[in-house]
Structure formats: structure tokens, C-alpha cells
Structure 1
Amino acid sequence: MHRPSALGNGLKRLVSAPRGCRGFATVTEADVESARRYCLKQLHDYDAHLIRRFMPPPVQDTYAALRALNLELVRLPEMVSNPTIGAMRVKFWHDAIDRTFSGQPPREPICILLHKALRELEQRTGGGGGGSTSSTKSIKFWVSRLIRTRERHMDNRPFATLASLEDYAENTYSTIMYATLASMPLRSMHVDHLASHIGKACGIVAVLRGVPVLAAPPQPVRSPSGLETPSRSQALLLPLDVMAEEGVKEEQVFRQGPSAPGLQDAIFKVATRANDHLITAREMLKRLKAGQDPGHEFEHQGEGEHHYVDEESDAARDVRRGFGVLLEAVPAAQWLLSLEKANFDPFASRMSLSLHPPQPLVGAVATMLYELIAIVRPGNLTEVKEIAQTVGSLVLRNGGVIRGLSNWGVFSLPKPVSIHQMKHTHGHYFVMRYDSSAAVHHDVRSTLRLEPRMIRAAHVKLGDGKLETVSRFGPPRWRTQGSEA
């Protein structure tokens, strides 16, 4: 719920947008690259950048566009100087999304990037002729629901009950996860069920994190005519039924902050509901991996786009495919842990997070994303495959995940640095991306050092930003024997 007070590019684009949101005749690669840079720049929190890396490459643009759109909508109450302009901006987004899904995106970075992702999705699912697929229809449904929900909550009304807060989280954060899953495309009742619980937890956490921000006096809005009074007042979005039970009064929170009577008890009660959803998702995941049923019915089955042709699909396989989307649970759990350590004082928790950033997500899941470049002596291509299979098996046996494997053919070696390397002027090489713990990574390196057919091997931690090769990855593409040098 963090809402920066600066007037962003979104409102400026509203002023300059052509009448009727006229779209591009064509979208160039330069347009897409510029839109991607803009959307990635909007993802200010480290967790979003890292979770995006765990998404399949074709889904990463969709994820960035959806997160950027959500931020644009969240910021609206403080970006505009009066409700009328806010309503105009929401109308712009309704029209822009309609035109984007009809193939005519307006000059808006989020729409351009989303349009590119939709075109690629249609090509992957057989809808490349311009017709809408069931997946694109699902994405449009979820995105439209996100905009409608944000529109209803632009005035920062408090939630009447804890259940209504859960509904809000379902219609925002869970909905973003549904749209991301649809862009894979992955239609699985069990994965949607997990996403529902995780999204509800994320939405509740977002409201709790916003307590210190919205309870503070709002900053003036800078408009073309100068500073104007902000459109919103101080707000406290905690559910009214919880506040009544704990004796929390809005005015006391605005004046006394964390010292307001009953505030920490109310925060505890709301945070417990978020944690309950994470616990439920965790238990569901264990049962599904063990081949069991999830343990309870999916309450939203049959609603919206929650219709499934094959309800008995391979749950374990579907969970693996949707793993990146489900990782949204990790930063939510980390923040709840920080809140608990602060004795459920959201003001203290916010300060501790700013002074001591949370551990990186890879630390929480005890893995790192590595890229291995392995150069094998020239000769029988089967040897290259055997070495790749040995490394892959080692990673998988120890709880790692293979993210990509590709063979790039023949590599001319630079000046040799050892007697062993002097025997060869070139070699075959393959590249593998995998997630593993540091211990497994060490075992991989040791295995390659002991492999007599290896010439050289290099590892890169992709978090270092030294290598960007996502677009080259996919199923293994081995050269045939006849094409070898």
C-alpha cells in the first residue's frame, strides 16, 4: 500500500494521450524495449525483481507489466489533486486495456509491454492469426477485475470486516497471480487454489505495511498550477470489526501512532489471518506433492474464470510450472516475521526494514540461480550429453531445479592456460541454468574438475548481473554429428 507522493509519469501520460486512446499502427522492438525498461524501473522492491527472474522467460514481461499497472493504480489517490482527475485516470486504464487486448495499444509503456506478451502468448497457443485465445480472455478478465477493485477503493475507505479485507486481497493480489498463471498458460485448480491463499496473505500484508504511510499526514500534490491540497486525508484501513473488538480509535492512531491503545492487538489479529493463509498454502503444497488431495475445497471454483476442463490434472507438475508465481509467499512471510519481532508494531517494523533490509529471497529459499558454461573436448557429441546429464542429475537429486539447457556448438579456445588445455584448439560447449544450494553448487564444481573429458568450466551467479542470456534458453538444441567441426 505504499503510495509515493510524487506526481508520476502516469498522470503526465494522461494529459498527453491522444483522444480516444488511439493506438499504434505497429509496435517496434524499440518501443517494446523502452516499455520494458519503464516497467522494470517501477518495480522498486528487490523481491519483485528477484521473483521475476524465477518466472519462465515468456512470462517475465507479463509479470513486469501487471506489477507496474498495479503500482500505477495504487498511487492514484496521492497522484491526483481531486477525485475527478482520479476517475478520468481510471477511465483511461479501462479504455487502454480494452484497446490493448484488441491489438491497438495506446502510447503507454505498460500497454505496449502487455501487448507484446499477449502476441507471444497467442503464437505459443495457436492463436497467432490475431484471434483471442481462452488464455488471453482470462487475462483480460483478471486485469479488468483488478482495475475495478482499485477504483472502488480509491477513497481509502476502511474495510467493514476482516472478511471484506480478504475479498479485497482476493480481487487484487490473488487476481494478479491468476493473470500471471494464465499467461503461461497454466489453468490448474490446485495452483489457482494455492495462489488464492498466497494472494490473500500478500494483500493483507500490503494493508498492514501501509498503516504507517496512510496514517501520516499526506503531502501536497504538485500540479502545473503549483502546490494543491492533496485529495486524501489520513486513513486507517484496518477492518472496523477488529478495531471495535480491540478498542482502536482512528483519531488516536493519527495522533499517537504506535502508542494508540489497542493498535498492536488489532495488528496481531489481522496479521494472524494472513499467516493462516500462508500456513494453509504450505500444508496444501505438502499434500499435493505427496499425491493427496488439498484437504479442503477451493471456495472460488466456478467463479469468474475459475472453470477447469481437467480437474484431475497432474498437480505436482502444475505446481512446478507455477513455482515462480507462488514465490510471492516468501516476502510476505518475511515481513510477517519482522512484524512479530517488532511486537506487532507496524511503525517499528517499517523502520527496522528500512534500516536493515530483509535477507535476499534466495537466502530464504536457500538457493541461488547459477549459470554453468562447460567446454568439453571435441569428438563424440554423446560425451557432451552425458556430462550435461550427470550435472543435471546431481542438481535434481539434491533438491535443485534445472531452469534451462542449451548447446551452442563449437567454441574456439583462447590462449591455453594449462598443459591439459594445450591439447585442444576448440571444443563443444553447453550452457545450463540451475537453482541450487551453495553446497550442491560446490559438488557440481568438484564433479566437473574430476571429469577428464572437460576442458574448462565457468560459473556465474546471475544475481551479479554479469550475464544476460535468458532469451537463448529453451529445450536442448544439440547439433547433429554432421555439423560438428
Structure 2
Amino acid sequence: MSTHPLVLCRRSTLRQWLGACPTAISNRHYSSSHDKDGHWHSHTHSHTHTEMPREPRSKPVDPLSGPSGPEETDTHRMSISSARQYCTSLLQSNFMSPNLITPFIPGPSRDAHIAICSLSAALRHASHPPLTSSANISLSSGSSVASARLRLEFWKQTIQDMFAGKTPPSEPVAVLLADVIRMHSYTRGFFIRMVDTRTARVGDPPFANIAALADYGEGAYASMLYLVGESMPGSRAVTAEHACSHIGRAMGVVETLIDFPSMLQRRGRVLLPIDVMVRHGVREEDVVRRMDVHDGGVRRKLADAVFEVATHANDQLITARSMLEEVVNRQGGRKNIDDAMFAPLLSAVPIRVWLEKLERTDFDLFSPNLKVKDWNLAWKMYWAYRSRKI
């Protein structure tokens, strides 16, 4: 496999997959610093990464002192088992393919990975429930916004109750998540930020710029990766944790690109960043009126805008990859990167594979090829795990 970073370029640009240095995208320069509390900060020339003030982590509750008592009942064991089975099936349909990462998670942390990723999927579903009608329905109506906010408020209150030691509701994701929270020490603020980020997106408000889109990924997905990292045994490198920030940002950008056709065809919304649309002359009314995008001029402008947005996602992966190399050098080689440190970074692999597929379609978000599942994604995940490369 090539060790060169992913290069995104239009078909009109001469590219070389091997040997030559990438010209379409360059590595971003970044610097790391830490504040008086020991929190690390990373900065790029395109955005400023701000560290969320972390609340004190919860102390893991001794299972023996939990509501089930010294001896766990058969009913309790069955509820956890059923919740795990439900969450596992939920992740199999998730576009980020977290189910493929599960085998590489250290055994004691697998339930935590499944529960946290399932919570992310549940929050995504709560803020944007899938439409079953072919009608063009907008989530900007008052009733739809109110119901979505109520669903997200349920999750926020449920999470707060879990940290207070209360019994979770009979909802599979909540049941497994409560069991995980009893077993691990977490920063509660990351859970709350996941909910608040989704709540802010109810009604599909437009993104003012690419930085706002990346910040959405920071709140929705980087927080998820931080929590997965906190589930891991032992200590982890701060630089590797910071790489999760950039991977999460890329995940948020890619989610928006993947959802673009359905948002346009089913809800009549074009959610590319406004500044990118202005730069490339993409008008929402033109794209909505030509939903099949057969118009050559509209298709070309839209592809140019998608290329810029996808390039930003790729830049985030390049930065994460550079940070991983720092960890490798500090640890004295890739063989010294243990599973607990590397597993959260595996979320970058499905993103990289999808961006490569998008490039092969010349950045046409309506290409049928983007809907075809990658039969070799599991192998690529395994190779990334063995080689300690993302």
C-alpha cells in the first residue's frame, strides 16, 4: 500500500497516486501548546481549535454497589445482553462503520465503544429522523423542530440521570450506556456537548462557513472519540487524543456530504457552507429547481464546491496523520503503539475510503457508485490496525 497521504484532485488536474508529492492539497501547518491546566491546544491556519472546559470526570461506580446488588440477577444480565445485541445491529447500518472497529477494541472497552457510538447514532436519528415518504418535507416546521428537541432533551436528561446513579429508562442504548458509565470514568461534558451540538442542528440551519461545519464535527464526533478514548485501559498520548479532534471534524464534514442528496431531494435543502457556495456561484434555488442536476453549469459549480469542502475534510485527516507520526516517534516505533492508544483513530479509515471514492466520481454526490458498499473496507481496517497507519 502507498504511504502517501490521500490526494484529492479534479479530473482536469494531472495527478499521480505514487511517487509524486501531492499538489492539490498541502499539509496544514499546526502548532500545539498547553494552558495552565495542562490541556493541549492545536491551531491550524484555517481554524482555531478551542478546547472545551472539561468537567470533573465521574468516578466509576462499583458494580457491587449498583442497583442490582452483590449478585446480578438473570433479568439484569439478559437486559444488558439484549441491549448489546440491539446496539450492535444499530451500528451495522451506520455510515461510519463503527462495527468494523469493534474487533480491534480491547476486550474490557468493547461495550463502551458500542454504547458510545450507538448514542451518537441515536442522537443523529433524533435530530434528523429518516423520512418514509417520498414527499419533500422540511424539518423547519414548528412541530417537527419541537418534537426533535424533545427527543434530544430526553437524551440529555437521561445522561444526567445516569451520572447521578439513577436507573436508566428501558431503552436499549440507554441500558447499555448506563452500564458502561458505572464501569468507567468519563468527562460528562463530552456527553452533553454531543447532545447540544445535535440540538443546535435541529431545523437544518445553514453553515456560515467551513469552520462552522468543522466545529459541528468537533462537537458531534470528536466528543464521541474522546469518550471512546476515555474507555481505554491505561494512559494515552495527548497528541493522539488531539488527532481525534481532527478526525471528528472530518467525520462531520463527510456526514454532511453523504446526506446532501437526501437533504436536497427529500427536504429541499442545500447545506454546503454559504461562503463556499458564494465563491463557486452555487445558488440554492438553482440546485433545488434542478434536483436531478442535469444542467451542466449547475453540476460543474456544485462539483467545484463539493471539491473544496471535501478538501477540507482531507486536510483534517492529513493533520491527524501527522500527529500520529509524532506519537510514533515519541513511542519509539509503530510496534509500541498499543491498541488502547490507536483504536480511537481507526475511525479515520472509513472517512478516507469514502473520500477516495468521491474523488473517483469527480466529486459528483449523486453518483450511484457512492451508494455501493466497500466490500474490502474490513480488510482496509485490518491493514490500518496492523500497520498502525490511518
TM over 0.5: yes
In structure 2, what is the Cα distance between the partners aligned to 1:252 and 1:272? 24
Q: Secondary structure at the match of 1:156?
A: coil
Cα offset, 1:268, TM superposition:
0.1
Residue 360 (structure 1) aligns with: 376
Supply the RMSD in Å over aligned alpha carbons. Answer: 2.7
Residue 107 (structure 2) aligns with: 57
Give the 5 Å matches for 1:215-230.
215-217=264-266
The one of 90, 99, 121 equivalent to 1:42 is: 90
In structure 2, what is the Cα distance between the partners aligned to 1:319 and 1:274? 26
8 A contact 1:191–1:319 mirrored in 2: no
Cα offset, 1:190, TM superposition:
0.9
Residue 88 (structure 1) aligns with: 150
Change in Cα spacing, 1:368 to 1:268, as seen in structure 2 (3 Å) is: closer
Cα offset, 1:240, TM superposition:
0.3
Give the 5 Å matches for 1:303-382.
320-348=339-367, 351-355=368-372, 357-365=373-381, 367=383
In structure 1, what is the Cα distance between the partners aligned to 2:204 and 2:172? 27
Residue 205 (structure 1) aligns with: 254
Cα offset, 1:319, TM superposition:
6.1
8 A contact 2:246–2:317 mirrored in 1: yes
More strand as a share of residues:
1
Cα offset, 1:113, TM superposition:
0.4
Residue 182 (structure 1) aligns with: 230
8 A contact 1:339–1:345 mirrored in 2: yes
8 A contact 1:362–1:368 mirrored in 2: no
Where do 5+ consecutive residues of structure 1 fail to align?
A: 1-23, 122-134, 218-232, 294-313, 370-398, 402-485
Cα offset, 1:317, TM superposition:
5.2
Where do 5+ consecutive residues of structure 2 fail to align?
A: 1-65, 69-74, 131-138
Cα offset, 1:365, TM superposition:
4.7
Report which of the two structures shows the higher radius of gyration computed on alpha carbons.
1
What count of residue pairs does the alignment treat as equivalent? 296
Normalising by structure 2, report the TM-score.
0.70
Give the 5 Å matches for 1:11-410.
25-26=67-68, 28-43=76-91, 44-45=93-94, 47-76=97-126, 77-78=128-129, 82-104=144-166, 105-121=168-184, 135-136=185-186, 138=187, 140-185=188-233, 186-217=235-266, 233-257=267-291, 258-259=293-294, 260-261=298-299, 262-291=301-330, 320-348=339-367, 351-355=368-372, 357-365=373-381, 367=383
1:269 maps to amino acid? E
8 A contact 1:62–1:180 mirrored in 2: yes
In structure 1, what is the Cα distance between the partners aligned to 2:87 and 2:80? 10
Normalising by structure 1, report the TM-score.
0.57
1:153 maps to amino acid? R
8 A contact 2:94–2:121 mirrored in 1: no
Change in Cα spacing, 1:248 to 1:189, as seen in structure 2 (3 Å) is: same
8 A contact 1:214–1:234 mirrored in 2: yes
Cα offset, 1:67, TM superposition:
1.9
8 A contact 1:288–1:316 mirrored in 2: no
**Percent identity, aligned pairs only?**
34
Higher relative contact order (CA 8 A, sep 6+): 2
Deviation above 3 Å: which 4+ runs of structure 1?
24-27, 77-81, 185-188, 314-320, 365-369
In structure 1, what is the Cα distance between the partners aligned to 2:241 and 2:387? 24
1:284 maps to amino acid? M
Cα offset, 1:263, TM superposition:
0.6
In structure 1, what is the Cα distance between the partners aligned to 2:202 and 2:328? 40
Cα offset, 1:290, TM superposition:
2.2
